[in-house]
Structure 1
Amino acid sequence: MVSIVSALGAGSGIDTTSLVEQLVDVQRSAPQARLDTKKETLESQISAYGALSSSLSTLQDSIASLTSEDIFNSRAVSFPDTDVITPNELSANAQTGSYQLEVMAIAQAQTLVANQTFDDKDSSLNATGNLTIRLGAWSYDASNNPASFAENESAQALNIEVAADDTLQDIADKINEADSQVQASVLLVDGAYQLMINAPSGEDNALEITSDDASLSGFNFNTADYSSMTETLQGQDAEIKVNGLSVFRQSNEIDDVITGLDFTLNKASAGEKISFTISEDSATAEDEIRNFVDAYNTFYETAKSLTGISTDADTEETTAGTLASDGTAKAVISRIRSMMTASVPGVEDFNALTNLGIRTQLDGTLEIVEDEFSAAIDNNFDDVAAIFAPKTSSSTSAIEVGMGSYSGQAVPGSYDVSITTSPSKGSVTSDSAFSAFNTADPGLNPLATPDYSFSVEVDGVASQSLTLEGDFTSADELRSALQSLINNDENIKAANIGVDVQVDDAGVISIVSREFGSASGVSITAQGDDFASATGLSANSVSTAGTNVEGTINGEPAFGSGNILLPAVGSDAYGINLTIKEGALGDHTFNFSRGLASELSLLVDTFLDDTTGAIAMREDNINSQIDDIADDQDDLDRRMTMFEDRLTAQFTAMEAIITSLQTTGDSLSSLFDTLPNTASSN
Structure 2
Amino acid sequence: MDNSIVSALGGGSGIDTTSLVKQLVDVQRAPQQQRLDSKKETLETQISAYGTLKSSLSEFQNLLSPLSNSDTFKARSVSIPDTTIITANTLAADAQVGNYQVQVEEVAQQHSLVSSYTASDKDAAAGLTGNLTIKLGAWTYDEPANPDDLVSFAENENQTGLTIEISADDSLQGIADKINAEESDVQATVLLVDGNYQLMMSSASGKNNALEVTADNTDLDGFQFNATTHLMTETQKGVDAEVKINGLSVFRETNEVDDVVPGLSFSLNKASPGEKITFSITEDKGTAEQSVRDFVEGYNSLFNTMNSLTGVTRDEENNLTSGDLSRDGSAKVLMTQIRNMIGSSVPGVDTFNALTNVGIRTTLDGTLEIIEDDFQSAMDDRFTEVAAIFAPQTSASVTGVDVSIGSYAVNTVPGTYSGTITTSPTKGSVIAGDDFAAVDTVLSPGDYTFAVTVNGTTTETLTLDGNFNTAEELRTELQSLINNDTNLKASNDFIDVVIEGDKIKLQSRVYGSDSKVEFSAVGAQFDDNVLFNNPTETTGVDAAGTINGEAAFGAGDVLLPKLDSDPYGLNLSIQEGTTGDFTFNFSRGFAGEMTRLIDQFLASDGTISIREDSINNQLTGIEDDQTELDRKMEKLNDRLTAQYIAMERIISSLQTTGSSLDGLADRLPFTASNN
TM-score normalized by structure 2?
A: 0.95
CA pair 8-365 structure 1, distance change in 2 beyond 3 A: same
CA contact (8 A) 2:6 2:654 kept: no
Note the C-alpha offset of 1:352.
1.2
Q: Does 1:68 align with 2:39?
A: no
CA contact under 8 A between 2:452 and 2:520: conserved in structure 1? yes
What do the CA deviations read for 1:531-588 (whole angstroms, capped 9, x no partner)?
33443213x3111111111222212222222112222322222221121111122221
Equivalent of 1:310 in 280, 294, 313: 313
User: After the TM superposition, which of the residue ranges 643-652 and 320-329 deviates more from structure 2?
Assistant: 643-652
Which of 387, 403, 406 is the aligned partner of 1:404? 406
Aligned to 2:384: 382
Q: CA deviation at 1:406?
A: 1.6
Deviation (angstroms), 1:417? 2.1
What is the DSSP-based 3-state SS (H/G/I as helix, E as strand, rest coil) of the residue aligned with 2:663?
A: helix
Indicate the SS of the match to 2:126: coil
In structure 2, relative to structure 1, the CA distance for the partners of 1:570 and 1:677 (3 Å cut) is same
Matched, 1:576 2:570: yes
Alpha-carbon separation, structure 2, partners of 1:437 and 1:627: 86
CA deviations over 1:332-361 (Å, ceiling 9, x no partner): 211112111111111111111111011112
Sequence identity percentage: 55
Spell out, residue by residue over 1:172-212, the C-alpha distance to the aligned partner (whole angstroms, 9 max, x if none). Answer: 11111111121000111111111100111000000111112
Give yes or no for the alignment of 1:164 onto 2:171: no
Counterparts of 2:191 and 2:315 in 1: how far apart (Å)?
86
Structure 2 match to 1:471: 467
- CA shift, 1:3, in A, is 3.7
Flag structure 1 segments of 5+ consecutive residues without an equivalent: 443-448
C-alpha contact (below 8 Å) 2:160/2:185 kept by paired residues: no
Contact 1:5 1:661 in 2 (8 A): no
- Paired residues of 1:5 and 1:662 also in contact (CA < 8 A): no
Q: Give the whole-Å Cα distance in 1 for the aligned partners of 2:587 and 2:316.
A: 46
SS in 2 for 1:116: strand
2:630 corresponds to 1:628:
no
Q: Which residue of 1 is the match for residue 213 of structure 2?
A: 209
Which amino acid letter does the alignment assign opposite residue 28 of structure 2? Q
CA distance in 2, matches of 1:224, 1:196: 20
627-636 or 487-496, which deviates more: 487-496
Map 1:244-643 onto structure 2 (within 5 A). 244-312=247-315, 314-315=317-318, 317-442=319-444, 449-504=445-500, 506-538=501-533, 540-609=534-603, 611-643=604-636
Q: Distance in 1 between matches of 2:451 and 2:73?
A: 52
Q: In 2, Cα distance between the equivalents of 1:9 and 1:483?
A: 116
The 3 A distance-change label for structure 1 pair 132 and 18 is: same
Which is further off, 86-95 or 158-167?
A: 158-167
Partners of 1:453 and 1:528 within 8 A in 2: yes
Alignment match, 1:445: none
Question: How has the CA–CA distance of structure 1 residues 526 and 677 changed in structure 2, closer, same or farther, with 3 Å as cutoff?
Answer: closer
Matched, 1:14 2:4: no
Contact 2:431 2:504 in 1 (8 A): yes
Per-residue deviation, residues 428-481 of structure 1 (Å, max 9, x unmatched): 112222234444334xxxxxx344433322222222333333333332222212
Q: Does 2:239 correspond to 1:230?
A: no
**Residue 5, structure 1, aligned to residue 1, structure 2:** no
Report the CA distance between 1:526 and its aligned residue. Answer: 3.4
Q: What is the letter of the counterpart of residue 50 of structure 1?
A: G
Q: Counterparts of 2:83 and 2:479 in 1: how far apart (Å)?
A: 43
State the AA in 2 paired with 1:362: L
**Superposed displacement of residue 216, structure 1:** 1.7
SS at match of 2:190: strand
Cα offset for 1:53? 0.8
For 2:9 and 2:493, how far apart are their aligned partners in 1?
110
Q: What root-mean-square deviation, in Å, do the aligned CA atoms of Structure 1 and Structure 2 show?
A: 1.9
Q: Secondary structure at the match of 2:432?
A: strand
Cα deviation for residue 322 of structure 1 reads 0.8
Give the equivalent residue in structure 1 for 2:191: 187
Moved more, 470-479 or 38-47: 470-479
> Per the alignment, in what secondary structure is the counterpart of residue 67 of structure 2?
helix
CA drift at 1:127: 2.1
The answer on whether the counterparts of 2:543 and 2:557 sit within 8 Å (CA) in structure 1 is yes
- Give the structure 2 partner of residue 102 of structure 1: 103
Secondary structure in 2 matching 1:65: coil
Shift of 1:667: 4.0
Code of the aligned partner of 1:4: S
Deviation at 1:379, TM superposition (A): 0.9
Whole-angstrom CA distance in 2 between matches of 1:140 and 1:33: 100
Distance 1:526 1:32 in 2: 89
User: Corresponding residue for 2:35?
Assistant: 34
Deviation of 1:680 (Å): 6.3
Distance verdict in 2 for CA 1:38–1:679, change over 3 Å: farther
Distance 1:152 1:37 in 2: 81
The CA distance in 2 between the partners of 1:533 and 1:410, in whole Å, is: 56
More displaced 10-residue stretch of structure 1: 485-494 or 24-33:
485-494
1:676 to partner: Cα distance: 7.4
1:675, CA displacement in angstroms?
5.2
How far is 1:46 from its partner? 0.9
Mean alpha-carbon deviation: is it higher for 576-585 or for 649-658?
649-658
Across the two proteins, how many residue pairs are aligned to each other? 671
Which residue in 2 is equivalent to 1:446?
none
Deviates more, 1:47-56 or 1:653-662: 653-662
Conserved? CA contact 1:5–1:665, under 8 Å: no
Note if 1:175 corresponds to 2:179: yes
Q: 2:151 aligns with which of 142, 147, 158?
A: 147
Q: CA deviation at 1:493?
A: 2.6
- Does the aligned pair in 1 maintain the 2:6–2:651 contact within 8 Å? no
- Contact 1:3-1:665 within 8 A present in 2 as well: no
Q: What is the distance in 2 between the residues matched to 1:592 and 1:342?
A: 17
Q: Deviations over 1:384-443 (max 9, x none)?
A: 11111111111112111122222212221122222222111111112222234444334x
Contact residue 511 and residue 541 of structure 2 kept, 8 A: yes
Q: Does structure 1 conserve the Cα–Cα contact (< 8 Å) formed by 2:512 and 2:543? A: yes
Paired letter, 1:602: R
Structure 1 CA distance for aligned equivalents of residues 103 and 27 of structure 2: 96
Which stretch of the first structure deviates more once superposed, 87-96 or 414-423? 414-423
Q: Secondary structure at the match of 2:117?
A: coil
Residue type of the alignment partner of 1:393: S
How far has the Cα of 1:4 moved from its partner? Answer: 3.0
Q: Summarize deviations over 1:506-551 as a string: whole Å, max 9, x none.
A: 312211111211121112333344433443213x311111111122
Alignment partner of 1:67: what SS? coil
Deviates more, 1:293-302 or 1:552-561: 552-561
Question: Aligned in 2, Cα 1:397/1:680: closer, same or farther, shift over 3 Å?
Answer: farther
Classify 1:27/1:155 alpha carbon distance in 2 versus 1 (closer, same or farther; 3 Å): same
Is this contact kept in 2: 1:115–1:230, CA < 8 A? yes
In structure 2, do the counterparts of structure 1 residues 163 and 25 end up closer, same or farther at CA, with 3 Å as the change threshold?
A: same
Decide whether the 8 Å contact of 2:479 with 2:497 is kept in 1.
yes
